[in-house]
Structure 1
């Protein structure tokens, strides 16, 4: 018996018939209504109508104008409900105040997609916001998707659709371009004609009332004509939607973003233009890194990188080998490379020896490899092959300067033949000399070798490439599994502490409460006791052992040093008594006595390591944001920090550490031993878990966290809660959905094995590799409709996608079995529920190891997925089954699925609404 299920690519809402995706009605309409069409010269309505009819897209255009019988010779209609055909796309170019009523007419006519070109909405304030709400209410009720308002429109060059009021149609190509600025769209369009750049889609997104970045990224990610996605962004809008879509699509197609509003003045301009507030630019950088997006600073870089990443493989690291026939350009390229953290590849002795055999005696014998000014085609190709074979190199840059004996065309012709021998490394070229080398440059470009006029620009692009690879690598790396924590116990203990504080009306935790909070999540803190008298302070000090530290204990004063509230290195009872009284008197001088609640007594810790800071605060757009860096009293001076979005795993925590300057010291420097970096990453994972699971925390800092070879210890902590009048619904959400612990449950198989059914984790990759050893070819065939070799099934790149999922987009459950005899863990089965882009439906798939079929596991996994679908408020779950897979058909029928049969497939669906 085989328990396996295919995960269909395009399940339909009407299971018997294929359903076009919602945005297909906008990007590939069969019928288009132009509401506000006119033949007045220079008007938006005339330009739009002309663009549609002069660029045949295979559909029909219907002008709508209540005052005209025809527009540009085409019959016009008084309103959209008068058109005799069903309308896929309505484009609105009427004053903003008229748009809500037009939307209601579109709903009556059954329109599926709308583009609103009109301005005058939220960018003008309260009146515009009210108009938008009226529009959105109707659109949501009738499931209409809307691009805009305040946009230029969009083009689908491969379809011949020009639904804009731009002056020309974009060339077809493989770049999907999305811009929040219509004016920039027209400038980019003009630039693209000069540079011969083509587009698979050209979209002005406007103020994103409905269709957002996430919707368009998903759509272009599914579009076979799109090889890379370029974005001009002013505001991120729905941050969770953007990050979720970008992380999924970036694994297969590069996403490159240029963000307007980096400086304070520019940010205000962007906010005024888009009607939204700009968030922290540093946090946005962290968000892009987390989702595998490459951020660039110039329009030139935006399109250079979209083309380069579509043509060339990504480098595995930052080491570049430079091959040149002139020393000066090689030096310029080196400077540009190192300035932005790239490095020159160190030539191995073997590589140098091989180059000695083919190069003149006076070659540079180093990187850059100067093969001298008289280099011919044979010397270039021989040297390139040898350099490419060096494992110390991650990429290659070939520079040519046109000297008297240089045949740029012949060299290019022979170099293109070496691409197959580059071992998957990117190859960039700088053919300097303009017209003199243009023929050779064209040969390289046609071979997919990206060429730049100047070598420093090429080195700069290589730096962007490896940084992009670095971001993606974080998505692919398998985290190390930290020890299993009692998540529920941690959550409950911490919640109790915070509720006790909130019940008193306070927003500030005392130092003692803060350390209790950290301890509940397994973060080591210095031993701390509260003393409310001199004698009690002495008693606690002698219990701990001298020397000790006394600190003010207060529920209202946070900066203890400002009021003389910290006394260090106390070596005897008299010193403790004096310190106690001194703190008491100091507080009394600055405040009334109610602020003094005694002191905390702690051991004096000898700082034999480094002082770090770990913290979290709230960003307006992204919610809780994590901070890691150099700590201590001068934390604001050094400003050595990295930001990231929670939750973390060990890989992401390691990436945070690597972004700081202190990282080099933590690895060991000048005779000091390295700190335990894995222990530090596990601590950061627990800290991020604390931030995610305790949403009442507004700010939290551990400063300093002392780290050394054998110790991690939080010496001080500060925790601030949200205001008491904040409701639970108004707490800032975590922008990346954390591990859904609510879906963890124990279950007993029919053979009495005790398993845990839980969501999959990135750390499960080794267990999934082992799981596939026990899955037959028949089960794989039933699951995927074709066979897949074991080596392919267990490849790291494939399993990284399967295990490191976005819980907002899909939910995968595993049956986790712990063998009581061996202590080994094993995954027995996997069930997956994946949301369908652009809908409120999901498709499910299932695979059970052959050894554990027929004992109720498939039934329980599918039942659990249905329950999750309800909790996630999905409307329908669907799947496709091979006709011969009778076991799965029976299982679906047993749990209430309806089946529709054809010769090729059995389609199953379960309505949840």
Structure 2
């Protein structure tokens, strides 16, 4: 049955139907087969078919049912092979046991995608899991993409496609909605129809056997009709795919998530300090921050945030100015604002003076700005005009409570006019929210404000919470896209070989716990300072160590089996002389022998006792999360670490910006900056230590758990670097194979692609992957380019100011190394002795395809030195390592040098009048 759709005449259709949009066959199919179509009233098969034929989407619908010649009056086919046209989308609603065979038939018939509605898979246990694996094996024999199983289906409201068994189709709009819960989908759909909320896509993703969060986020990110993405999540699935896609899309389209389910699985997985403090839900919060995703706690907030982030600019800071005609609602808004992480803007003296000129004598003269109950529309507008000029404010909330002299409708009209005038002057980057409190009498005013893109809320605390969410979204993105500082001594690589040998020696001995001395040696190999340690097997040796180090000292148990030394009496502090050291040695030996056995005592370590009053005890650690692999922990340390639970969690690897963001999540951070007359610690040194620590965790994958507790950060300026006083490392068990080691959720810096090379003229360079810290070097690189080089690269003369804009460069430098790889050639200028980037090559994977595009740019001064050819060869090797099947590029006809470079590398060239297509199969 043929149906029509006006959407086909829209230019968007051609963009989304491109072969480079692998999910286009799901959302924009031209032929749909309903496998399991039925005439039975109330059946899923009948509802699916009815929904597809009653909502014209511009394609043909083919019922498939071996037992019927027709379904609902439409010719039916016995199987997918008999369908007379190529099928883009198969919607499968048959018993679970039949689905693997149907998927096999779909692959053989060249079907591009499938939505499996059927239930009875992994949700029923092991038999269902085996069925899913059979389905996946069959799908992988072709290029079939699958949504589901056990899902409601998908809708494209703009085309009219309704491949679900829901009772109605969603309204068209600008929100892409994805849910793992089919039941929630139907509830949201009912709500949206009542509230007139529209969607660009409406997806029930089900079990995510194939198509996952990352695939759909990329598709909606490319969809011009989608302004924001809203997700109901129950499980993360492929963590790396989600984080990579979300991080790329979130900067241009807000992604708002509500995550159901909280678990203590990660906390129970480990007995270490760090393991006991991490938990999968906390880790999920950290993952969302790292990818720029906004997490909310209520379903209503999902769509509130989608609406307001589409209408209003993101605030640049947490400070809100509240304008109200009643004190109580202003106080309620303030309470919610402060408790959720926002701040009240402090009014400047100029703002107060301006307010005194026209506001009643009894106005508040502070924030919230109470303009009193008799406020008319002009007073509201004038107050907003004055407040908008205050540099201390990052956003505004206007509250109206209906009183005898209040005119909600006229106030809204006047506020609308005021905002339109101010936008040209002073409101750039400052959102305006409104709370028109009341029932029917304020509805007209609310409608006026909403049409003016001023989001309205019935309660002021709801509006305040929305503002803090907006600020949180800004904060998350800023953490990703701020330019970090290059870690000092970066060029001095860690001694990975030493660390690997030490770990391998312990593994060969059958040990999973390293001694304190071994643990500290690994920290030192990665540039993390540790307190000097002396090992003593006897009491006399302990005294000799103490005499050498100087008193007071600390004695700690030396053991290859004991996890926490304090639990067995294995630590003695503040020993002032040799007699105390001898006593401490025997006390530790006796205690360990009595509690766990003499075989666990190998001696003691002796180290100098620091004055902890001159700084702060911190903890830095790493443990495993079942979804995200290794995670990092930072917070207040010491013996009461589990009591205070002042910690922050982040995903490795870190740069200095991300390290600072991690520190900012803790309460101890306020003290580290200096408090009550105490000097601050060297925060830059702590940042750099966290970066090195994250590098250790990423590179030494046999480490299962690692703690530095305490890490001592001194407030004495003569001791600027934090120092590890104690360290503990636990390795994975011997029966774990290298391929079974947990995967890093965020791909680390690929050091394997960094190697030296020599230009034809003898100039020595390092070719390496780009890093976020390279933005300043990228600015200087673009200044060296001629107009011709710019034109050949970008196909037009892009202005320097545009090429070096922070918003552009940081996205080019701050890549995740999973979907993109950029190699730079760096050399040290002999005249200035400064590092410079002289060439850049980029490889970008196409969404959902095993295909990439490449681009090259070489500084004019270093062209014709073989550098472009070398970069391209290396990009090809990267592509092979990443299992890319094809690489393409577009080249201008006059750019003959790049064409020759491609031919030398084995590319085929397709020369057209205005473009040359380069292509190579790997």
Q: Same fold per TM (> 0.5)?
A: yes
Shift of 1:882: 1.7
Give the conservation status (yes or no) of the 8 Å contact 1:256–1:296.
Answer: yes
**626, 635, 652: which is aligned to 2:632?**
626
Number of the residue aligned with 1:895: 905
CA deviation after TM superposition for structure 1 residue 486, in Å? 5.5
Residue-by-residue CA offset, 1:580-627 (whole Å, 9 max, x unaligned): 333333333334433222221211222121111111101111100101
Deviations along 1:728-752, whole A, 9 cap, x unmatched? 0111111100000000010111222
Correspondence 1:136 to 2:146? no
2:474: which partner in 1? 469
The aligned counterpart of 1:764 is 774
Q: 1:361 to 1:489 in 2, by over 3 A?
A: closer
2:274 is matched with none
1:457 counterpart residue number: 462
Across the two proteins, how many residue pairs are aligned to each other?
Answer: 886
Mapped contact 1:279–1:620 kept (Cα < 8 A):
no
SS at match of 1:878: strand
What secondary structure is seen at the aligned counterpart in 2 of 1:701? strand
Question: Residue in 1 aligned with 2:342?
Answer: 342
Q: Is the 8 A contact 1:388 1:423 kept in 2?
A: no
Deviation at 1:558, TM superposition (A): 3.1
- Residue 475 of structure 1 contacts residue 800 of structure 1 at CA under 8 Å; is this kept in 2? no
Q: What is the CA–CA distance in structure 2 between the aligned matches of 1:34 and 1:168, rounded to whole Å?
A: 18
What residue is the counterpart of 2:182 in the other structure? 182
SS at match of 1:615: strand
**Greater relative contact order, per chain length (Cα 8 Å cut-off, separation 6+):** 1
Structure 2 counterpart of 1:443: 448
Q: Distance in 2 between matches of 1:64 and 1:804?
A: 49
Q: Tell whether the 8 Å contact from 2:20 to 2:846 is kept in structure 1 after alignment.
A: no
Give the secondary structure class of the aligned counterpart of 2:854. strand
- How many angstroms apart in 2 are the aligned matches of 1:386 and 1:584? 73
- Give the direction of change, closer, same or farther, for the CA distance of 1:264–1:628 in structure 2 (3 Å limit): closer
- Number of the residue aligned with 2:551: 546
Deviations 1:884-910 (A, max 9, x none): 222211211121111112233211111
Q: Deviations over 1:331-369 (max 9, x none)?
A: 221111112121110011112122222323322111111
TM-score by length of 1: 0.95
Tell me the residue number matched to 1:575: 580
Moved more, 407-416 or 192-201: 407-416
Number of the residue aligned with 2:5: none
1:327 positional shift: 1.8
Distance 1:776 1:404, change over 3 A: farther
Q: What is the deviation of 1:779?
A: 2.0
Task: Name the counterpart of 1:158.
Answer: 158
CA separation of 1:601 and 1:872: change in aligned 2, threshold 3 A: same
Q: Distance in 2 between matches of 1:18 and 1:262?
A: 40
Quote how far apart the aligned CAs of 1:372 are.
Answer: 2.1
- The answer to whether 1:430 aligns with 2:435 is yes
* 2:869 maps to 1:859: yes
Q: Does 1:831 align with 2:841?
A: yes
Task: Identify the residue that residue 6 of structure 1 maps to in structure 2.
Answer: none
Match of 2:795 in 1: 785
Preserved CA contact (<8 Å) 2:51 2:163: yes
Q: Among 735, 750, 774, which residue is 1:740 paired with?
A: 750
Q: Which moved more, 1:813-822 or 1:620-629?
A: 813-822
Deviates more, 1:794-803 or 1:177-186: 794-803
Alignment of 1:587-602 (within 5 A): 587-602=592-607
- Counterpart pick for 2:814 among 787, 804, 815: 804
Distance, in Å, in 2 between the alignment partners of 1:20 and 1:481 is: 37
Could you say which residue in structure 2 is the equivalent of 1:226? 226
Query: Does residue 710 of structure 2 align to residue 704 of structure 1?
Result: yes
User: Does structure 1 conserve the Cα–Cα contact (< 8 Å) formed by 2:18 and 2:24?
Assistant: no
Alpha-carbon shift at residue 674 of structure 1 (Å): 0.5
1:18–1:666 Cα change, 3 Å: closer
Report the counterpart of residue 671 of structure 1 in structure 2.
677
| SS of residue paired to 2:140 | helix
Distance 1:393 1:167 in 2: 47
Return closer, same or farther for 1:487/1:194 CA change in 2, 3 Å cut-off: farther
Q: C-alpha distance in 1, partners of 2:67/2:566? A: 77
Q: Shift of residue 213 of structure 1?
A: 0.6
Q: Which moved more, 1:582-591 or 1:184-193?
A: 582-591
Contact 2:907 2:920 (8 Å CA) reproduced: yes
Structure 2 counterpart of 1:842 = 852
1:263 Cα deviation (Å)? 6.2
C-alpha distance in 1 between matches for 2:566 and 2:877:
54
Instruction: Give the Cα separation in 2 of the matches to 1:222 and 1:178.
Output: 15
Q: Match of 1:452, SS?
A: coil
For 1:691, the equivalent position in structure 2 comes to 697
- Match status 1:370 vs 2:375: no
Deviation per residue, 1:202-223 (Å, 9 max, x gap): 0000000000011000000000
Matches within 5 A, 1:235-246: 235-246=235-246
1:73 aligns with 2:76: no
Post-superposition offset of 1:566: 2.2
Q: Retained in 2: the 8 A contact 1:63–1:71?
A: yes
Aligned equivalents of 2:624 and 2:876: distance in 1? Answer: 35
Give 3-state SS (helix, strand or coil) of 1:141's partner. Answer: coil
Task: Provide the C-alpha distance between the structure 1 equivalents of 2:592 and 2:88, rounded to a whole number of angstroms.
Answer: 73
TM (normalized to structure 2)? 0.94
Q: Residues 588 and 379 (structure 1 numbering): CA distance in 2 closer, same or farther, change over 3 Å?
A: closer
Where do 5+ consecutive residues of structure 1 fail to align?
A: 1-16, 269-277
Q: What CA distance in whole angstroms lies between the structure 1 residues aligned with 2:480 and 2:414?
A: 37
> How far apart are residue 821 of structure 1 and its match?
4.1
Assess, with a 3 A threshold, how the Cα gap between structure 1 residues 376 and 520 changes in structure 2: closer, same or farther: same
Three-state SS of the structure 2 residue aligned to 1:900 is strand
C-alpha RMSD of matched pairs (Å): 1.7
Q: CA deviation at 1:489?
A: 4.3
Name the counterpart of 2:643. Answer: 637
Structure-1 separation of matches of 2:506 and 2:578: 33
Does the aligned pair in 2 maintain the 1:389–1:423 contact within 8 Å? no
